[in-house]
Amino acid sequence: GDSVTQMEGPVTLSEEAFLTINCTYTATGYPSLFWYVQYPGEGLQLLLKATKADDKGSNKGFEATYRKETTSFHLEKGSVQVSDSAVYFCAYNSGGSNYKLTFGKGTLLTVNP
């Protein structure tokens, strides 16, 4: 069935380190892909998105490229900050009329000073 597989956490990095969180999906058709972030005590916030193959989503220094050939949407950031500590969720919707999201399990990122 349709699913999202994310890199298992937790991930612990030092400030200014390079971040990659892997995400692959299994879905029919041409889904739109998303990364959501959840800071402690808050709801899910959209971080970035890509709606078609080869699109690159970017926001706050984070990037992810929609790779249809590998069904992947890996999240990267060149230099993480302590304030990036959060849980990151990869997700997709398959379009249609209601845009429901299918999520991965989430990856906890902790950035130490």
Partner 1 sequence: EPEVTQTPSHQVTQMGQEVILRCVPISNHLYFYWYRQILGQKVEFLVSFYNNEISEKSEIFDDQFSVERPDGSNFTLKIRSTKLEDSAMYFCASSGGQEQFFGPGTRLTVL
Q: Give the number of other CB atoms < 10 A from CB of residue 105.
A: 13
For partner 1, give the closer residue by CB, 19 or 50: 50
Helix residue ranges, H only, 35-93 = none
Residues 6+ apart with CB under 8 A from 113: 14, 15, 82
Q: In this chain, which of 19, 47, 88, 106 binds partner 1, going by CB under 8 A?
A: 106
Residue 12 Cα distances to 9, 29, 66, angstroms: 9, 35, 25
Contact between 42 and partner 1 (CB under 8 A)? Answer: yes
Amino acid identity at 44? L
Instruction: Write each residue from 47 to 66 as x if it is in contact with partner 1 (CB under 8 A), else as -, in one continuous string.
Output: --x-x---------------
Name the minimum Å distance from CB 43 to partner 1: 4
Q: Which residues bind partner 1 (CB under 8 A)?
A: 4, 32, 36, 41-46, 49, 51, 89, 91, 93, 97-106
